[in-house]
Amino acid sequence: MPNLPKIPLESWISNIVSWLTTHLSGLFDLMQKGGQSIMDALTNGLTAIPMPLMIAGLTFIAILTTHKKYGFPIFTFIGLALIANQNLWSDLMSTVTLVIMASVISLVIGIPLGILTAKSPKTAAVVKPILDFMQTMPGFVYLIPAVAFFGIGVVPGVFASIIFALPPMVRMTDLGIRQVPIDLVEAADSFGSTTWQKLIKLELPNARNTILAGANQTIMLALSMVVTASMIGAPGLGRGVLSAVQRADVGSGFVNGLGLVILAIIIDRFTQKLNTKPGQKATRKPWRRWAILATVLVMIGGGVVNAMTSEKTTGQKVTLGYVAWDSEVASTTVLAQSLRQHGYDVTMTPLDNAVLWQSLSNGQVDASVSAWLPYTHKALYAKYKNDISLLGPNLHGAKTGFVVPDYMKVNSIADLKDEANKTVTGIEPGAGEMTTAKQTLEAYPNLSGWNLSSSSSGAMTTALDKAYKSKKDIIVTGWSPHWMFSKYKLKYLEDPKGTMGKNETINTITRKNLKQDNPKFEKVMDKFNWTKDDMESVMFDIQKGQSPEQAANKWLKAHAKLADSWYK
Amino acid sequence: MAKVEIKHLTKIFGKRPKAALKMVKQNKSKDEIVEKTGSTVGVYDISMSIDEGEIFVIMGLSGSGKSTLIRLLNRLIEPTEGQLFIDGQEITKFNKKQMLDIRRQKMSMVFQNFGLFPHRTLLENTEYGLEIQGVEKEERRKRAEQALDNAKLLSYKDQYPSQLSGGMQQRVGLARALTNDPDILLMDEAFSALDPLVRGEMQDELLELQANVQKTIIFITHDLNEALHIGDHIAIMKDGQLQQIGTGEEILTNPANDYVKTFIGGVDRSKVLTAESIMIPSLTTNVDVDGPTVALRKMADEEVSGLVAVNRKRELLGYLSSDEAVKARRNQKPLTQAVSTMPTVALDTLVADIMPIIYDSQTPVAVVDANKRVRGVIIRGSVLEALADTEGEENA
C-alpha cells in the first residue's frame, strides 16, 4: 500500500462554503431577512389566535372530516389541551410555523421537480443521485452550511429541513406520474392532448394520492428535523428536547417529545383525509366544506381581534445567547429576568458553543455572559476576537479540570494509571473544555492510551451520579461553579503541567457594534457581575427541581441590591 | 383516392436500428436480430392502402406488430422509415402542432383495455376530445350526451368507469372516439377483453354503426372469426411483415403462403382428418335429472333444436329433439321415453367414413369413446368445411 497523500477534501469544501458566504452574502441576507419576517408574521398570527378558540376550532374540523368515528376528534382535543396545559403552546406554534414553511417550500420545489424527472430521463439521471445524497447525509451536516449562510434562528432551520424533507416529495411525484397506466397516456395522446393538458387532466389527478403520500412523508421529515434545527436556534418544541438532552432531564425531554408526537399524529391524520380513490369522489356534503371554511375564518378572526386588543410589548428587543450548561442556564436566566423587570424584551437563544461565538461575530446575538477565559474558550476567542467585544469578567474564581469523587485515592493527573477504564467522561464535543482535555491527554505521558468520551453536560452528571452511588471510579471534565460540588464530595485533580487551565473567569462578550447601537444595554452588560456562591445557589435550586425562572427570581429578590447596581 | 396510404413503413425499437434493418433485409429471424443488435423489429416494410368507408382488419398473433402498426398511423410511435398519407397529405412530415390537429379532427382511437380515465365520469370521459380542443362547455356536453345516448348509456353519464361492466366501458370508449366525429377510427383489439357473448354483440353494433356513419375503420384483432365477421379487407401480419391482403374470401380460398394457411386453419394433404379433429363440444342433457322444461330451456338458451341425451355417467342414450321434449312435457312423461337414437362414431373414425352417415342422419352424429361416453358431436358444417379445404387444395 503506497503512502498516498491525504486529499484535502475538508479544506476544499470549507473554501467552497466560505466563497459562497462571501460572494452571495447579499442574497443570503435578503433571504434571511425576508424569511425571518414571514416566519415571525406567521408565528405571531398563530399565537394571536386565542388558545381555547384554536383547540375548539381544530377539534370541530376533526369532527367534520371524520365520519362517525370519535377517536380522532377526541385525541385532537385532549392532545392539544395537554400541550397547552404544559405551557408549550407558543413553542408548539413556533414548531408549526417551521413545519409549514419547510413543507410548503418543499412542495413548491418538489412537485415541479418530480414532474420534470418523470418527463425527462436526463433530468432524472442528474437529480436522482443528488436526492440519494441528500437523504442519506445525516441531518446535522446541513446545519453547518445553514449557519454559515443564514446565521442562527428559524431560517437556517427551515433551510436544513427543506434539504432533508425534499427528496420524498420529488420521488413520490415522479413515481405517481410514471405509474399512470400507459394505455391512459396513449388515450390522452390519441385525442391530441398537449403535454400540458395531459399533465393537468390526466397525470396529476391520477398521481394525486401518491403525491399526497409524498407530502405526508415530507411533513414528517420536516418535523423530525425540528429537534436537530433547534441546535442552531430554531425555536419551538425541539429546543425543549435538546436542552433536556443536554441536562439529562428525562421528564422535560419526554413532555416536549410528547408534544411533537401529538402534533405529528394530528398532521398525519389530517393529511391522510385528503386522499380519495379516483372514481369514488367523496360525496361530501357541501355544507361540510363551508363549515370547515367558516371555522378557519372564525379562528383567524379571533386572532385578529386578539392581536388588536392585546398590548404590544414596548420593551427594547435584546437577544442573549447561551449554551445549555447548568452554569450558563443559571447566569443567563438571572440576567434575562432582571432585564425583563427593567422593561427589556429579552430573547434567550440556547446554542451550541461554537455556533454561539459565530453568531455573536456576525451580530445575530447581542450578548452572552458565558465566555470562559483565558483557557477554556481560548481557541474560539482566538478565532473571533476581532469580530466581538470582550467586556471583561462577570464572575471570578471559575475553574476547570479533571474531577473525581473524593473516595478515589488518586490526587494528581500525573498519577493516573488505569483508573476508570482509562476513560475521561466529557461533555459536548464542541465545548472549550473538551479541547483542553484533549490537549491534557496528549501532554501527560502516563495518559497515552486513555480516551476522552464526549456526551453532554447532563449525561456527564448522570454518569457521575451513577458511579458515585455505586462507589465506582470515574473521572469527569468538571468545572466550577457547579452544583455537583454541593451535591457530592468531589475533588479536582492537581494539574502540574497546567494544561487544563489555572483559575479562570467567566466573561461577558457582545457583538461589535452594540455600544453604538444600544449604549444603555451595553452598559448593563458591562456592569453585570456576581459571585461563584451566587451562581451555585441558583444552580442548586434548579437542580432540586425549580424552573430556571423561579430560581432566578428567588435569587433576584434576595440580592436586589446587587442586581440594582448593574443598572447604575 | 385512398383515404390512408402506407408506403414502406418500418419501425425498429432499440438502439441500433440501422444494423437491425440490414439484418431484416437478409431475412434473418426476429430472435436472431434481437440477439445480435438488441433491437426489435416492430414492423417492417409495410405498404397498403385503405379506402374511405371500409372496415380494414389487421390480423396476426401477438408479437406480429399489429398494435405497433396502428400506433404508427396516428404517430403515437414514430416510424423509423417510410411514409404515411392521409387524404393525400404526408403526415410523416407533419410537425407536432399539425399532428395534434390530425389527432383531434381526423382520427380517434379505441383501446383494448378501454383506456377510460378513472377519475372522470362517463360524460367527462366522452367529452375529453372536445374539451382539449377548447370547445365550449354547453356544446361539448350536448355532443357527448348525444354520443352516450347512441351507445344507450345516457342514464349512466354521471357514473365512474369502475362502476360499469366491460361491455359498457367499451361502448363509452367508442362513444368517446365518435364524439370528435373523426374520419378514421383506429380500434386496437377493441373487443378482445370482453367475454364472447358481449363480443359478438359489440361486433354487430359496430357493423350497424358503420352502416349509419360510414367511417374508415382500421380494426386490429387476433381472432379470425372476428375478422371475417366485420372486415371488408383483411391484412395478415407475421413478425412485423405483411403476409397477405385481401377480402375474407380471397384469404380463405387463396392463402398466399404456408403461414397464412396454418393461420386460417387450413389442413395439409398429408394430414388425414378424424372425427376427433372436427367435432365440436356437445350440448347435453342428463335425462336422469333434467325434466322436459329444463331441456327446452337449455335449447332456447343455446339456440339449438336438439340435445344429446346422457345418463348420470355421461354415457350416451340418444338424441332429444325439441319436438319430442314438447310432447313429453304435454303428456307429463319423463325424458327417458322421449329420447330417439342417434348415429355414433368412434374418436378415430375418418371423415371420409363419416360422410355417408351424416348425410343420412337427421340429427348430428355423436362421437363416443371406448366407454360409451360422449366426447363431442359432428354437424354438417364441420364436415363441409373439412371437405372445402381439401378440395381447395386439389384445385390449387
Q: How far is CA A57 from CA A207, A302, A306, in A?
A: 31, 11, 16
Chain position carrying cell 424552573: A547
Judged by average pLDDT, the poorest of A219-223, A312-316, A357-361 is A312-316
Cβ atoms of B34 and B211 closer than 8 Å: no
Residue A119's contacts (CB-CB under 8 Å, 6 or more residues apart) are: A177, A195
Query: How far is it, in rounded angstroms, from Cα A391 to Cα A49?
Result: 42
Checking if the pLDDT of A142 tops 90, the result is: no
Q: Which of A373, A368, A372 is nearest to A358 (CA)?
A: A368
Identity of the highest mean pLDDT range in A115-124, A299-308, A388-397, B239-248: A115-124
DSSP secondary structure, A356-371, as one string: HHHHHHTTSS-EEEEE
- d(CA A109, nearest CA chain B) in Å: 26
DSSP secondary structure, B87-131, as one string: TTEEGGG--HHHHHHHHHHTEEEE-TT----TTS-HHHHHTHHHH
Cα Rg for chain A, rounded, in angstroms? 27
Identity of the residue in B101, B118, B160 whose CB atom sits nearest the CB atom of A192? B101
Query: How far is it, in rounded angstroms, from Cα A231 to Cα A352?
Result: 6
Is omega for the bond preceding A52 within 30 degrees of 0, making it cis?
A: no
Q: Using the beta-carbon criterion (under 8 Å), do B112 and A194 form an inter-chain contact? A: no
At B282 the three-state DSSP class reads coil
Q: What are phi and psi of B315, to 5 degrees?
A: -85, 145
Q: How far is CA A377 from CA A247, A373, A397, A506, B156, in A?
A: 21, 6, 16, 10, 79
Q: Using the beta-carbon criterion (under 8 Å), do A190 and B131 form an inter-chain contact? A: no
Q: Using the beta-carbon criterion (under 8 Å), do B186 and A191 form an inter-chain contact? A: no
**Helices A139-150 and A25-48: angle between axes, nearest 10 degrees:** 110
pLDDT given for residue B394 in this prediction: 40
Cβ atoms of B72 and B48 closer than 8 Å: no
Q: Which of A452, A264, A430 is nearest to A350 (CA)?
A: A430
Cβ atoms of B202 and B194 closer than 8 Å: yes
Q: Using the beta-carbon criterion (under 8 Å), do A192 and B103 form an inter-chain contact? A: yes
pLDDT given for residue A418 in this prediction: 86
Query: How far is it, in rounded angstroms, from Cα A479 to Cα A398?
Result: 7
At A484 the three-state DSSP class reads helix
- d(CA A279, nearest CA chain B) in Å: 5
Q: In the structure grid, which three cell numbers stand for residue B102, read together?
A: 390530425
Pairing of strands B40-50, A490-492: unpaired
- Per-residue confidence at A79, pLDDT binned at 50, 70, 90? very high
Q: Using the beta-carbon criterion (under 8 Å), do A183 and B115 form an inter-chain contact? A: yes
Query: How far is it, in rounded angstroms, from Cα A183 to Cα A272?
Result: 29
Q: In the structure grid, which three cell numbers stand for residue A380, read together?
A: 474560539
Three-state SS string across B55-78, please?
EEEEECCCCCCHHHHHHHHCCCCC
pLDDT given for residue A149 in this prediction: 84
Tell me which amino acid residue B215 is.
K
Checking if the pLDDT of A405 tops 90, the result is: yes
The model's pLDDT over A505-527, given as tens digits with 9 standing for 90+, comes to: 899 999 888 888 888 888 888 88
The model's pLDDT over A157-174, given as tens digits with 9 standing for 90+, comes to: 888 888 888 999 999 999
Question: Looking at residue B342, what DSSP letter applies?
Answer: -
- d(CA B18, nearest CA chain A) in Å: 24
* Chain A residues near any Cβ of chain B (below 8 Å): 181, 183-184, 186-194, 197, 201-202, 205-206, 278-281
Query: How far is it, in rounded angstroms, from Cα A237 to Cα A258?
Result: 10
Count, residues in chain B: 396
Chain position carrying cell 366491460: B166
Chain position carrying cell 467585544: A389
The C-alpha angle with vertex A145 and arms to A141 and A151, in degrees rounded to 5, equals 120
Q: What are the chain A neighbours of B192 within 8 Å (beta carbons)? A: none
Instruction: Identify any residues that bridge with B234 across adjacent strands, giving them in sequence order.
Output: B57, B246
- Per-residue confidence at A134, pLDDT binned at 50, 70, 90? confident
Helix intervals (H) in chain B: 17-25, 30-37, 66-73, 96-105, 122-126, 128-131, 137-150, 166-179, 196-213, 224-230, 248-253, 258-263, 275-278, 292-302, 322-330, 351-360, 380-395
Q: What are the chain B neighbours of A195 within 8 Å (beta carbons)? A: none
pLDDT given for residue B268 in this prediction: 39
Per-residue pLDDT tens, chain B, 396 aa: give them. Answer: 688 999 989 998 888 888 888 888 887 887 888 888 888 888 988 999 999 989 999 998 888 889 999 999 989 999 988 999 999 899 888 998 999 998 999 999 999 999 999 999 999 999 999 999 999 999 999 999 999 998 889 999 999 999 899 889 999 999 999 998 899 999 999 998 888 888 888 898 899 889 888 899 999 998 888 888 899 999 999 888 888 888 887 887 788 888 888 777 743 333 456 677 778 888 888 888 888 888 888 888 888 888 888 888 888 888 888 888 888 888 888 888 888 888 888 877 776 677 778 777 878 888 888 888 888 888 877 777 666 655 444 433
Q: Using the beta-carbon criterion (under 8 Å), do A279 and B107 form an inter-chain contact? A: no
Q: Choose, out of A177, A191, A201, the residue to mutate when testing the contact with B (most B CBs < 10 Å).
A: A191
At A429 the three-state DSSP class reads coil
Task: Measure the CA dihedral A495/A498/A503/A504, to 10°.
Answer: -130
Q: Which of A266, A267, A274, A272 is nearest to A75 (CA)?
A: A266
Instruction: Identify any residues that bridge with A507 across adjacent strands, giving them in sequence order.
Output: A371, A393
- d(CA A171, nearest CA chain B) in Å: 23
Q: Using the beta-carbon criterion (under 8 Å), do A279 and B118 form an inter-chain contact? A: yes
DSSP secondary structure, A354-421, as one string: HHHHHHHHTTSS-EEEEEEETTTTHHHHHHHTTTEEEEEEEEEEEEEEEEEETTS---BGGG-SSGGG
Q: Which of A181, A232, A222, A227 is nearest to A202 (CA)?
A: A181
Predicted TM-score of the model (pTM): 0.74
The model's pLDDT over A184-203, given as tens digits with 9 standing for 90+, comes to: 999 999 999 999 999 999 99
Instruction: Identify any residues that bridge with A319 across adjacent strands, giving them in sequence order.
Output: A347
Query: How far is it, in rounded angstroms, from Cα B265 to Cα B276?
Result: 15
Region A95-106: mean pLDDT is: 91
Q: Using the beta-carbon criterion (under 8 Å), do A192 and B128 form an inter-chain contact? A: no
Which element (helix H / strand E) includes A134?
helix A121-136
Q: What are the chain B neighbours of A206 within 8 Å (beta carbons)? A: 117-119
- d(CA A187, nearest CA chain B) in Å: 6
